[in-house]
Amino acid sequence: MHTRTKPTLRPIACALSLLLASGQLNAADAAKDAEEEQPKQPLDLRLPVIELEDTTIEDDLLMSKDEVGHDDVYRKDVSNVYAGRKELERYKGASVSDVFAGMNGVYSGDSRNSGALDPNIRGIQGEGRVPVTVDGTEQAISVWQGSGGVSNRNYIDPNMIGSISVEKGPSATDGMKTGVGGSVQIKTLDAEDIVKPGESHGIEIKTETASNAVAPDESGTRLFGTDYRDIEGAFNTYYGNVGFALPNGGRITPRKGSGGSDFNFEDNAFRIAAATRQENFDLLAAYSYRSKGNYYSGKGGSQRYETEDWLDKARAEDNASVPGAGTSYVAQLYHPGYEVTNTSTDIRTTLLKGTFYLPNQQSLKLSYMHSDMEFGESSPFVISYTTFRGLDGTLNVGLQSPFSEVKQDTYGLNYTWKPDDNALIDLQAGIWMTRHDSIRHQTGDSVYGVGANESARDIAWDNYVTCKYDYNPVNCANVPTTAPDRLDNSDGRYNLIAKAMQLSNHDRWGVNLSNRMLLTDTLSLTLSGDFSHEKLEERNNADGLMVNEIIWAATHMGPRSGTRQQYNFSFNNEWMAMPWMVISAGARFSDYNSFDDGLAKHRENKENNWQALPTITGRTLSYRRLMTDEEAASLEGDLRDMYASWGFTPEEAEPEIQDALAGYKVDGVYYTYKESFVVPYDGFKIDRSANQFLNGTIDLNETVENAQGTTGTVKRYISPTIDTTIYRNPTEEEKWAKPKKRRDNAWTPMFGVTFMLTDYARVYARYSELVRFPTLYEDTQAGTAFGRSTDNTMDPEHAYNWEVGYVHDLLGFLPDWRHADVRINYYENEIRNYIDRDKSWSIVQFDKKTYSGIELQARADTGRYFSNFGLSYRLSQKLCDKDYAATLDPIYNAAISSCVTGGFPATFARTSLQPKFSINLDTGVRLFNEKLELGGRMVYHSSAENKEEADWIRNSQLAADAFGRPYRWQPIWVFDAFASYKVMANLDLDFGINNITNRYYIDPLARAMLPAPGRTMKAGFTLRF
């Protein structure tokens, strides 16, 4: 029987703790069986005023870690959500991102196309903005998706997750790696998850299978090394890219599903874990495996995803020239109820853990996890291009691409020391490492290509194939209808190669240290610091091959290689100033440096296309000004004098003079031929304050009455034009200059105050600032195909966050219930110097991103019935930059507002806009002495409609209708259900249905337009020894 310390209160602290309503021992299950039911206590705020004495208590009377996690949702003075092991395994979905499905206000970008997590909180998304830690380790990587841009990936095996804690916004919470948008803390299985209370060892075997899956057709993924002319319908298009007139030679035909009723064992998973808990140590070993085929989409409501009528209307109003009769949408590409290719997953994971309990309340914990992952991945470019062309699913969008592969190792060593006799020591220290290797086919180039140069193409064969299958033929009149002789391939020049392959190696390691000191009964001080080092090496399989300018940009702007370091130091004080008021205050110092190893290598070798390009320093804007009466009166005489000075006779000069006068005259009055001014340009944006059209110097709407002796009104300025671009050519030394190491640092404060209104209710207010330095991807400009600046040095993002909230424990009104809590909070945040990409794919900084909203959470548990509710409401989310808006329309500054919803055209912020409303509701019932649990969950997301999108297209902002355009989704109602029955003490049976109504829908924040899984049934069992 294990023992742990239980807090008991000394006299001084007793009164305070009663006020703070300590609920540390509110173990509902234990109290249920007790002879005398103990009254429920409100949640403990866990402030540093309580002194501890040692008392032995049995393990089964302590709250489980999941109970503590759920209580923390209402205990912490920061908006947060929590998912325990039971919830995660109860609703396990088809994709890794489904672990967020029940966590209100938490989303994952590109959820069906990554095999990873890309958390989005309150519309904030991206590497470093919402850090994800797994047992204290970090492994985020930004992956390049060609024209689809960049995506943040955090790879994790859902079968190994024990719990997920999410905080919304920066905080000073111990153990949370915070970012400007919040934080996600994932903990894997521990020995206590496997060993029952009171026992010393345990073995758990968990297995499950699910319907609605089909094994991917891998025949087309094994074509590398094959002569493309041996594949029916294959032809060399241009620049070594191989296309298919038939879907991969007719090999790929998406298959039709059965509405989720087919248990064909194409989605299987199992996990075996063994653990022991001894007096001086705990050990755990676990292995998990999941193999899931491509899923089938749903059917219900698919008609709403067949076209994008709003886009067609906007294009028509702009008289846009767009190929195709209409805009095909997702249901025309991925037919309802059919297989969605590139959605399969294969994961194998090994987890080892050991905790050693040392003398004097010390512990040492070691962990190691290895994962091998293979998953399907679709190219955002292919889907975007298909919708742009107005094509449908009869073409090649359903191609099964080669699998992405990830191998990942994480190591962790953590030390804790909390002696009972020293209130100044509550020490935690750790060192960790993550090693990540991946192979992806997502550079934006063609997945299949050949190495032959353009002059060595087998043009006769390619013309024959395109004409035979009527695939964009140019002139087939002279093309034979029989197959021509093929050119020799003895050197393999026509063999297929993986042209879009990108290989990444990303290693991180770090250390952290913190100590919490109880200085007095009412005051604590926490000191903490951490350091991290990362090295990224990426290369492209198309290096050295023939590419055009667009493909060069897509492939060379992706791979990055560099080194980055960062350290942080912080302190935080918590002070109970009054029995009803707690104040917290602290500050954080951060410092970082990075170096572009990839660019340094290319420059050192003086490789072509890696030199510094001419820099844009300004733009010339021109206009015509109404001449003054004096200028107009003297114009004809001035012209005659000029022609006379050139030697023209009056007869010769007269027709020239009349032509010149006609050129000066518009609507009966004379204007200057052209006047101009230069607006400074930093390579990415103009200086709006120096633009005479926009700073008040020149008013293009100004009019003049009765000018030059005429009657009526005329404009003072006409014909405003973007004239020329001014470049500064780099010197030879600057062309091949070694990139400089980048450094920066900053201080940021945090402050909070909490007022206890009653024993059960409190209000709080928090103000926090935090900086985010550029990531390796943002700090290393691998290529500058479209950019015109040799220096993209950036300031750190700086977040300013306000949050106020009200929390109420309703057990005061409902003392017989296990739980009854509600919290509501309002946030208003701003991130200055926001880093994103522009319409030319260059990494730039925007002035600020602002966002605000309201969040509501509630829970109720009577013992028999239980329910949780969450609501998020987005009030506003804007990206603002008056200089960038003026850059897009430097003449009138009317095409795009200086503050836009979501983000400007082609930015990632534009596709990170969360739904206006999101609602989560789960409820259930416990029956037969709690052996049977039945329940269900409803998830609702409001439709995505950004009216500014259509306005941009009407105003001829072509970038708004290009790649990176956000996909619209209709209102989403998804219903899930579960049943769990404890057959005996060692055996549980589980059954669940996801997407009960078999809806056809797109997940919020999708960058690759893939429909979500249709109705899926899951069955499994858990066996314990």
Question: Could you tell me the CATH number of the domain that includes residue 114?
Answer: 2.170.130.10
The answer on 838 and 806 residing in a single domain is: yes
- In terms of C-beta density within 10 A (0-12 exposed, 13-18 middle, 19 or more buried), how is residue 491 classed? exposed
Give the pLDDT confidence score for residue 668 in this predicted structure. 92
CB within 8 Å of 394: residues ≥ 6 apart: none
Would you say residue 241 lies in a domain? no
Task: Please state whether beta strands 132-134 and 182-188 pair in parallel, antiparallel, or not at all (unpaired).
Answer: parallel
Would you say residue 468 lies in a domain? no
Nearest to 537 by CA among 874, 141, 217, 57: 141
Cα three-residue angle 705-707-711, rounded to 5 degrees:
65
Residue 967 has pLDDT above 80, yes or no: no
Q: What is the largest CA-CA distance in the chain?
A: 123
Give the pLDDT confidence score for residue 944 in this predicted structure. 72
The answer on 409 and 436 residing in a single domain is: yes
Residue 550 has pLDDT above 50, yes or no: yes
| Highest mean pLDDT out of 448-452, 479-483, 610-614 | 479-483
Inter-CA distances, 383 with 392, 895, 1006, Å: 10, 27, 12
Output the DSSP codes for 961-973. GSTTPPPP---EE
CB within 8 Å of 851: residues ≥ 6 apart: 122, 123, 124, 827, 828, 829, 830, 874, 876, 877, 878
Would you say residue 456 lies in a domain? no
Would you say residue 951 lies in a domain? yes
Would you say residue 460 lies in a domain? no
| Highest mean pLDDT out of 234-243, 393-402, 488-497, 822-831 | 822-831
**Distance, CA of 767 to CA of 753 (rounded, Å):** 9
Average pLDDT over residues 957-964: 57
**Distance, CA of 384 to CA of 329 (rounded, Å):** 10
Average pLDDT over residues 415-435: 96
Question: How many H-runs (helices) and E-runs (strands) does the chain carry?
Answer: 17, 48
- In terms of C-beta density within 10 A (0-12 exposed, 13-18 middle, 19 or more buried), how is residue 544 classed? exposed
Residue 257 has pLDDT above 70, yes or no: yes
CATH number at residue 315: 2.40.170.20
Residue 526 has pLDDT above 90, yes or no: yes
Task: Write out pLDDT tens, residues 749-801.
Answer: 999 999 999 999 999 999 999 999 999 999 987 545 444 555 677 899 999 99
| Contact yes or no for 714/667 (Cβ under 8 A) | yes
Give the pLDDT confidence score for residue 962 in this predicted structure. 56
CB within 8 Å of 490: residues ≥ 6 apart: none
The answer on 720 and 812 residing in a single domain is: no
The answer on 808 and 696 residing in a single domain is: no
Nearest to 177 by CA among 107, 117, 128: 128
Six-digit token string for 200? 């010393």
Residue 536 has pLDDT above 90, yes or no: yes
| Highest mean pLDDT out of 101-115, 508-522, 643-657 | 508-522
**Distance, CA of 392 to CA of 390 (rounded, Å):** 7
The residue range of the domain holding 70 is 44-49+60-189
H, E, C per residue of 51-73:
CCCCCEEEHHHCCCHHHHHHHHH
Would you say residue 491 lies in a domain? no
The answer on 740 and 879 residing in a single domain is: yes
Would you say residue 849 lies in a domain? yes
The answer on 833 and 808 residing in a single domain is: yes
Sign of CA dihedral 109, 111, 116, 121: positive
541 pLDDT band, cuts 50/70/90, is confident
**Distance, CA of 533 to CA of 1014 (rounded, Å):** 42
Give the pLDDT confidence score for residue 613 in this predicted structure. 82
Name the β-bridge partners of 767: 751, 802
Task: Write out pLDDT tens, residues 285-306.
Answer: 999 999 999 999 999 998 888 7
Calculate the dihedral angle through the C-alpha atoms of 771, 776, 777, 782, rounding to the nearest 10 degrees: 140
Task: Write out pLDDT tens, residues 662-701.
Answer: 999 999 999 998 999 999 988 788 999 999 999 999 999 9
The answer on 761 and 779 residing in a single domain is: yes
Q: How far apart are the first and last CA of the chain?
A: 18
Average pLDDT over residues 497-523: 94
**Distance, CA of 424 to CA of 422 (rounded, Å):** 5
Q: What type of residue sits at position 105?
A: G
**Distance, CA of 150 to CA of 777 (rounded, Å):** 9
Number of domains, the chain: 4
Residue 26 has pLDDT above 50, yes or no: no
The answer on 37 and 132 residing in a single domain is: no
- In terms of C-beta density within 10 A (0-12 exposed, 13-18 middle, 19 or more buried), how is residue 604 classed? exposed
Task: Write out pLDDT tens, residues 587-611.
Answer: 999 999 999 998 899 889 988 778 8
The answer on 764 and 782 residing in a single domain is: yes
Phi, psi of 284 (to 5 degrees): -140, 140
2 pLDDT band, cuts 50/70/90, is very low
The answer on 608 and 620 residing in a single domain is: no
Average pLDDT over residues 926-936: 96
Residue 233 has pLDDT above 80, yes or no: yes
Q: Percentage of the chain surpassing pLDDT 70?
A: 84
**Distance, CA of 218 to CA of 374 (rounded, Å):** 13
Six-digit token string for 765? 């207010």
**Distance, CA of 217 to CA of 947 (rounded, Å):** 41
| Contact yes or no for 777/558 (Cβ under 8 A) | no
Mean pLDDT of the chain: 85
**Distance, CA of 770 to CA of 747 (rounded, Å):** 8
Would you say residue 121 lies in a domain? yes
Residue 1025 has pLDDT above 80, yes or no: yes
Give the pLDDT confidence score for residue 308 in this predicted structure. 59
**Distance, CA of 170 to CA of 164 (rounded, Å):** 17
Give the pLDDT confidence score for residue 621 in this predicted structure. 96
The answer on 824 and 680 residing in a single domain is: no
Nearest to 730 by CA among 793, 683, 685: 683
The answer on 379 and 265 residing in a single domain is: yes
Q: What type of residue sits at position 651?
A: E
